[in-house]
Amino acid sequence: DTGVSQNPRHKITKRGQNVTFRCDPISEHNRLYWYRQTLGQGPEFLTYFQNEAQLEKSRLLSDRFSAERPKGSFSTLEIQRTEQGDSAMYLCASSSRDIQYFGAGTRLSVL
Amino acid sequence: QKEVEQDPGPLSVPEGAIVSLNCTYSNSAFQYFMWYRQYSRKGPELLMYTYSSGNKEDGRFTAQVDKSSKYISLFIRDSQPSDSATYLCAMKEAGGTSYGKLTFGQGTILTVHP
């Protein structure tokens, strides 16, 4: 078990393009979370999956954002029509009960 | 007003010093309290996890929770240069529809110089 894996580590894109990030949680963890962290701030909750069901979405998650977790394993986060304000670190965490383990994140830069 | 307030620092101390990091919160529903450490360009790593008022010790780290004052602290004894990182407090509600989502403080940047 190598922990939570996120790919890519860094994504540079032009404004208006679509991007997709992937998160592979720790095996057997049924809970998966996405957070966004901007420079100098703590992570902010975006969305939560229990197995394949998306049970909660933050109001931070605009219509341009969509997340999936098919078959309750890996998860993807897609941002459509990226804006410069989307530039941030996108963190994924997984848990089986109380403790959330974080991946190293995907750093998105929108030019 | 943010639900969790944390002094962003930065904090610079000499090696061997005792470090005190603090957070205050306004949401009475928070019942579980954590401290994460985050190195540059890495994800947060859990240091301490507590759910009751009082102290919890783990090696050089002591977490303190005062629910009546809505105040939590992390103390680092005999600080080392390898402790240089951003420290994040995090909290969550108990059960219900919160689904365990964490609410983080802003993070405190700590530098321990030799």
The string of DSSP letters for B14-79 reads ETT--EEEEEEE--TTEEEEEEEEE-TTS--EEEEEE-SSEEEEETTEEEEEETTTTEEEEEESS-
**Between chains, do B102 and A100 touch, taking CB under 8 Å as contact?**
yes
Distance CA B78, CA B76 (A): 7
Residue A108: predicted pLDDT? 98
Among candidates B49, B90, B106 on the partner chain, residue whose Cβ is nearest the Cβ of A41: B106
Q: What is the C-alpha to C-alpha distance for residues B105 and B91, in angstroms, rounded to an integer?
A: 9
Tell me the Ramachandran region of residue B8: left when phi exceeds 0, alpha when psi lies from -120 to 50, beta otherwise: alpha
Residue of A nearest to B51 (CA): A98
Least confident piece of the model among A12-16, A50-54, B30-34, B97-101: B97-101
pLDDT of the residue at A1? 53
Contact A40 B8 (CB under 8 A): yes
CA distance B82 to A86: 32
Between the alpha carbon of residue A37 and those of residues A76, A100, A111, B44, B109, the distances in Å are 17, 16, 18, 11, 15
Cβ distance of A107 and B41 shorter than 8 Å: yes
- Whether the pLDDT of residue B98 is over 70: the answer is no
| pLDDT over 80 at B1, yes or no | no
Say how far apart CA B100 and CA B106 lie, in whole Å.
19
Q: Is some CB atom of chain B closer than 8 A to the CB atom of A52?
A: no
Residue A42's closest CA among B17, B89, B69, B27? Answer: B89
What tokens appear for B74 in the block? 């992390």
The first and second tokens of residue A110, run together, are: 């929108």
CB pairs under 8 A between A and B: 61
Does B2 have pLDDT greater than 90? no
Kindly report the nearest CA distance between residue A2 and chain B, in angstroms: 14
- What pLDDT does B5 receive? 95
- Best A41, A92, A108 residue to mutate vs chain B (most B CBs within 10 Å): A41
The answer to whether residues B8 and B109 touch, using CB atoms and an 8 Å cutoff, is yes
pLDDT, greater one: B2 or A94 = A94
pLDDT tens string for chain A (111 positions)? 579 999 999 999 999 999 999 999 999 899 999 999 999 999 999 999 999 999 999 988 889 999 999 988 999 999 999 999 999 999 999 998 889 999 999 999 999
- pLDDT of A106 reads 98
User: Which pLDDT belongs to residue B84?
Assistant: 97
Cβ-contact A109, A95 below 8 angstroms = no
With CA atoms as reference, report the closest residue to A105 among A27, A15, A17, A43: A43
pLDDT of residue B100: 85
Q: Hey, is A12 helix, strand or coil? A: strand
Mean pLDDT along residues B69-87: 97
What's the pLDDT tens digit per position in B3-24?
A: 999 987 899 999 999 999 999 9
**Which residue is associated with the tokens 């404004």?**
A15
Q: In this structure, are residues B8 and B47 in contact, taking their beta carbons and an 8 Å threshold?
A: no
CB-closest option in A48, A55, A103 to B43: A103
Contact B6 A42 (CB under 8 A): yes
Average pLDDT, chain B: 93
Across the range B61-76, mean pLDDT stands at 96
